[in-house]
Amino acid sequence: MGERLLVEGNDAVGYGAVEAGCDCYFGYPITPQNEIIEWFSRELPKRGGVVLQAQSETGAINMVQGAAATGARVIITTSGPGWSLMQEGMSNIATAQVPCVVVSVQRGGPGTGGMRQVQMDYDTTVKGGGHGDYKNIVLAPSSVQETYELVQLAFHLADKYRIAVVVLSDALIGQMMESLELKKLDFGPLPPKDDWVVTGKAYHKDGVKHMSLIVQGVPDSPYPTWLSFVKHLNDKFEEIEKNEVRYEAVALEDAALVIIAFGYMARISKGAIKTLRAQGLKVGLIRPITLWPFPKEVIRKVAEQGVDFLVVEDNIGQMIDDVKATLYGHGQKEIHLLSILDRSGTADGALIVPRRIVEECQRILEGGK
């Protein structure tokens, strides 16, 4: 068993990154993720890494693009308004195909919004917030331990597919203290970076110049036309959808109602399911860990059992669109929603509490059958 620490989710990002051999951190202060930039500023230089506080999130994401083009393992962290500023960079990174890890610790919006927990940036991360046809791999932790582990996985997937991987945390997971067991995860071998890194011609094995481009189908691009590059991206996204779906399933075997929730709302839903099961109500849970690629297969499989669905998310309803799209043509089951408007109170820190989820499940099961 590895060393145990009592840390915040935001600190777990740092521990996970250094476990994965992170070389560079770029960022800009914004609540509620300041603990992360402070952690890296304190800890990464000691380990021989590079830390730079940029003049803006726009600057920071472009520094990430440059550093990642050298083959370094690079991470950047932010929250809502900063995430908005980074979208131009995310689009360019998708074309340059430089691997990097982004941690977005969600806060309320739109605009400056609030600084407490929400799940409002599902769409901008999962659908890609910048211009053009591209996808980000999105990993959604629901605990401090999982934040640490998914950050390690994020570095692996980024290198495996030459893609930006977003770890979608939030103010609750980020600022909550929990026990963390340190253990380096091994995800297997990765393709070499020698054939594309931009490090100076003398440092390449092939001895020829390398270019990192945000435009493709130009001279010396590996893709003869822009459309052939679009096809390449599509092939890559299909491969990721085939290989990298991750989810947690709870009590699906006999379920009559399945809750679909991610992050902290999945964790709160688990508490509600315990209560419901004690009452003899057959409720299960699917917790997408990869928000993209979305776990479509398992949702369609339980749909065949004839279950109803309840989507629980702390926003006005974003993931529910993916659930609806997943189930299109796979039966006519009801898809219910518990949203941010079902919170227990009006304070910024209010939540959709387990009792509310229990009541909703009882209503669906008793009213519907």
**Residue ranges in contact with other proteins by CB under 8 A:** 23-24, 26, 50, 52, 54-56, 58-60, 62-70, 72, 74, 88-89, 92, 96, 198-203, 209-215, 218-222, 224
Structure tokens at 225: 């036309």
Helix or strand (DSSP H, E) at 290: strand 290-292
- Residue 266, number of CB atoms within 10 A of its CB: 23
Supply the minimum distance, in Å, between the C-beta of residue 70 and other proteins.
Answer: 4
The region that residue 135 occupies, defined by phi over 0 for left and psi between -120 and 50 for alpha, beta otherwise, is: beta
Residue 198 or residue 312: which is nearer to other proteins going by CB? 198
Q: State the nearest-atom distance from the C-beta of 27 to other proteins, in Å.
A: 12
Q: How far is the CB of 217 from other proteins (least distance, A)?
A: 11
295 Cα distance to chain centroid: 14
Instruction: Specify the residue, 73 or 135, whose C-beta has the smaller distance to other proteins.
Output: 73
In this structure, are strands 335-338 and 50-53 parallel, antiparallel, or unpaired?
A: unpaired
Q: Burial level of 360, CB count in 10 A (0-12/13-18/19+)?
A: buried
Distance of closest approach, residue 13 Cβ to other proteins, in angstroms: 19
Question: 213 or 335, CB closer to other proteins?
Answer: 213
CB 218 → other proteins: shortest distance, Å? Answer: 7
Alpha-carbon dihedral sign for residues 136, 139, 140, 143: negative
Nearest to 256 by CA among 326, 300, 306, 297: 306
Torsion, CA 239, CA 241, CA 246, CA 247, rounded to 10: -160
Residue 166 pairs in a beta bridge with 102, 138
Minimum CB separation from other proteins for residue 163, in Å?
Answer: 18
Q: What is the nearest approach in angstroms of other proteins to the Cβ of residue 67?
A: 4
Taking the complex as a whole, the smallest distance from the CB of residue 61 to other proteins amounts, in Å, to 8
Measured from the CB atom, is 18 or 74 closer to other proteins? Answer: 74
Nearer to other proteins, 199 or 339 (CB): 199
Nearer to other proteins, 44 or 257 (CB): 44
Of residues 53 and 339, the one with the C-beta less far from other proteins: 53
The residue to which tokens 């479509």 are assigned: 296
Q: Looking at the DSSP assignment, which residues form a beta bridge with residue 169?
A: 105
Cα separation, 30 vs 80, in Å, equals 9
Q: How far is the CB of 300 from other proteins (least distance, A)?
A: 39
Strand, coil or helix: what is 302?
A: helix
Q: Please, which residue, 59 or 113, has the CB nearer to other proteins?
A: 59
Cβ proximity to other proteins: between 72 and 151 the closer is 72
Sign of CA dihedral 87, 93, 94, 99: negative
**Minimum CB distance to other proteins, residue 29 (Å):** 15
Nearest to 44 by CA among 72, 24, 19: 24
Question: Read out DSSP for 48-64?
Answer: T-EEEE-SSHHHHHHHH
Backbone angles phi, psi at 114, to 5 degrees: -125, 175
**Which residue lies nearer to other proteins by CB, 201 or 231?**
201
Q: How far is CA 206 from the centre of its chain?
A: 35
